[in-house]
């Protein structure tokens, strides 16, 4: 590991810290009260969404919402080091979530790279200002890890495409006004043995007739995931992003933004570990004298530190212009392993109180730990399934022999 922050990087971090000191404090003061600063009678889920909108708007006002976007779009054209510093600072202060995470980190950059000036004017402001919610529709029942296997059809018919098929696992599609979808525009690609071809990217108005979102209830009881069904839905040709058949390139063009995306996670995980120890001290102090639990805490602490250093090594390689693997897939594996380890550790540390779920009057920390116990299973699938990461490491890093 070999890097030091440049004066620009340090200035970037100091400016962000100073901004957060003032603006996060103000934000928390205005929202973490019983009053509703939104003016209306919003509560529960709606209030969470309003809170996310407000936070994203404040970030955007400070030019801190879309740091990777060009300056003309209120971004900062941040370097990989600045991305890592941003993630770490946000994790350090436990910054609230934003309204359009997908829109800011993935979809916006795709529109900036592939969109016409008209498309950019039409969609970028509403992503940035949190005016309308966005979703990302790639996965299908037979196309997840093997994404190129997608079969939802978009067939050109005059000035529009006719879309038929089914997407699945689409986060917050039922809340979204717009979605970036990858669709199969050339059905002959399979016969030609070229399934990465014949895929086109579209920006779709989720209110289009013929689109139906069917919520999926997940293991925690929430319904943020959806199936999205298309039945003869008509998508105007000017909603195509990039050329016909260029969908694969459009989708892959922003994956680079994820390369240091785990940088802040080790800070969040370290902070979670501290919080669960504090919770145990309050409700089940004997747990902290248990030698087995003490060893698990020490191991988790060490694993988190290792992940932090792994991220720094990946960053060093990026700065030297070297490929940043196997550190990136290894960090992903570490993240899913530690998230699940922590989730299990938390309920064991809390003892009997660990089963008190969200919504109950005695739930510890609002039931977060109990919810996490089941929710964190997703980390074996999200951002690249565990087995796929292991395949990548085996093939590219260890170069294991293949049949
Ligand atoms: C919380 C959550 C949110 C999501 N949000 C979105 C979203 O907003 N938009 C979207 O498009 N998608 C979303 N997804 C879907 C996600 O991208 C897919 O779940 C993921 O790509 C895996 O695909 P799959 O579910 O079809 O599983 P599969 O690819 O079918 O994998 C099933 C199992 O088989 C293993 N496997 C697959 N291929 C291989 C192989 N070649 N070798 C060895 N093992 C293999 C996998 O590791 C896994 O354990 C979300 C998923 C989750 C969990």
Query: Residue 309: which CATH number?
Result: 1.20.140.10
Query: Mean pLDDT throughout 290-311?
Result: 95
**Could you give the number of structural domains in the chain?**
3
What atom of ligand 1 comes closest to residue 102's alpha carbon? 8
Specify if 114 maps to a domain: no
> Residue 206: inside a domain, yes or no?
yes
Of the segments 54-63, 256-265, 328-337, which one has the largest average pLDDT value?
A: 54-63
**What stretches of 172-324 adopt beta strand conformation (E)?**
178-184, 199-205, 211-216, 225-236, 240-241
Task: Cite the active site residues.
Answer: 258
Instruction: Tell me which residue range forms the domain holding 269.
Output: 259-397
CA of 385 to the centre of ligand 1 (A): 6
Q: Flag whether 88 is in a domain.
A: yes
60 & 138 share domain: no
The verdict on the CB of residue 123 being under 6 Å from ligand 1 is: no
**Over 80: is that where the pLDDT of 65 sits?**
yes
- Whose CA is closest to 325, among 392, 386, 252? 392
pLDDT at position 141: 97
The pLDDT of 133-151, averaged and rounded, is 96
Q: What are phi and psi of 342, to 5 degrees?
A: -65, -40
- What average pLDDT does the segment 68-91 reach? 93
pTM, two decimals, is 0.93
Instruction: Give me the pLDDT at residue 402, please.
Output: 82
pLDDT at 2 over 80: no
15 or 307: which leads in pLDDT: 15
Q: Output the pLDDT for position 329.
A: 86
For the stretch 319-349, pLDDT in tens is 888 877 788 888 889 999 999 999 999 999 9
Evaluate: CB of 388 within 6 angstroms of ligand 1: yes
CA of 60 to the centre of ligand 1 (A): 32
State how far the Cα of 200 lies from the Cα of 155, in Å rounded to an integer. Answer: 10
Q: Are residues 235 and 311 in the same domain?
A: no
pLDDT tens digit string along 30-41?
A: 987 655 544 444
**Which of 44-48, 143-147, 207-211 bottoms out in mean pLDDT, i.e. has the lowest?**
44-48
Q: What is the pLDDT of residues 340-387, one digit of tens each?
A: 999 999 999 999 999 998 888 899 999 999 999 999 999 999 888 999
CA distance 195 to 216: 28
| pLDDT of 262 | 66
Residues 82 and 197 in one domain: no
pLDDT at 284 > cutoff 80: yes
Best of 169, 215, 400 to mutate for ligand 1, by most ligand atoms within 8 A of CB? 169
389 and 333 in contact (C-beta within 8 Å)? Answer: yes
CA of 332 relative to ligand 1 center, distance in Å: 14
3-state secondary structure of 149: helix
pLDDT digits (tens, 9 = 90+) for 206-227: 999 999 999 999 999 889 999 9
The rounded Å distance from CA 149 to ligand 1 centre is 12
Q: What is the CATH number of the domain that holds 243?
A: 2.40.110.10
Domain boundary among 194, 216, 247: 247
106 CB within 6 A, ligand 1: no
Q: Out of 39-48, 143-152, 240-249, 394-403, pick the least confident.
A: 39-48
């Amino acid at each position: 590991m070999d890097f030091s922050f440049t004066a620009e990087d340090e200035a970037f971090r100091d400016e962000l810290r100073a901004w957060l000191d003032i603006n996060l404090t103000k934000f928390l003061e205005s929202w973490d009260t019983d009053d509703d600063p939104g003016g209306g009678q919003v509560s529960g889920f709606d209030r969470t969404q309003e809170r996310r909108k407000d936070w994203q708007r404040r970030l955007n006002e400070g030019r801190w919402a879309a740091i990777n976007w060009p300056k003309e779009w209120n971004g900062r054209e941040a370097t990989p080091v600045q991305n890592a510093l941003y993630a770490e600072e946000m994790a350090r202060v436990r910054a609230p979530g934003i309204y359009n995470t997908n829109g800011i980190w993935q979809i916006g950059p795709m529109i900036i790279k592939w969109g016409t000036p008209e498309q950019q004017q039409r969609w970028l402001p509403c992503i940035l200002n949190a005016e309308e919610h966005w979703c990302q529709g790639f996965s299908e029942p037979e196309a997840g890890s093997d994404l190129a296997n997608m079969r939802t059809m978009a067939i050109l018919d005059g000035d529009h495409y006719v879309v038929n098929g089914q997407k699945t696992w689409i986060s917050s599609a039922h809340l979204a006004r717009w979605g970036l979808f990858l669709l199969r525009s050339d059905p002959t690609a399979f016969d030609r043995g070229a399934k990465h071809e014949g895929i086109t990217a579209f920006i779709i108005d989720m209110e289009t007739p013929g689109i139906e979102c069917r919520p999926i209830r997940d293991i925690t009881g929430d319904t943020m995931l959806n199936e999205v069904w298309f039945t003869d839905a008509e998508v105007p040709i000017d909603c195509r992003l990039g050329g016909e058949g260029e969908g694969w390139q459009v989708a892959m063009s922003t994956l680079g933004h994820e390369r240091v995306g785990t940088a802040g996670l080790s800070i969040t995980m370290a902070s979670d570990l501290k919080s669960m120890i504090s919770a145990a001290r309050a409700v089940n102090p004997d747990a902290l004298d248990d030698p087995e639990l003490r060893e698990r805490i020490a191991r988790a602490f060490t694993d988190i530190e290792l992940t932090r250093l792994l991220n720094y090594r990946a960053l060093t390689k990026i700065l030297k212009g070297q490929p940043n693997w196997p550190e990136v897939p290894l960090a992903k594996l570490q993240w899913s392993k530690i998230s699940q380890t922590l989730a299990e550790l938390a309920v064991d540390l809390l003892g009997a109180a660990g089963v008190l779920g969200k919504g109950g009057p005695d739930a510890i920390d609002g039931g977060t730990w109990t919810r996490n116990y089941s929710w964190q299973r997703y980390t074996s699938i999200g951002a690249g399934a565990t087995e796929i990461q292991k395949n990548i490491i085996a093939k590219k890093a260890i170069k294991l022999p293949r049949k």
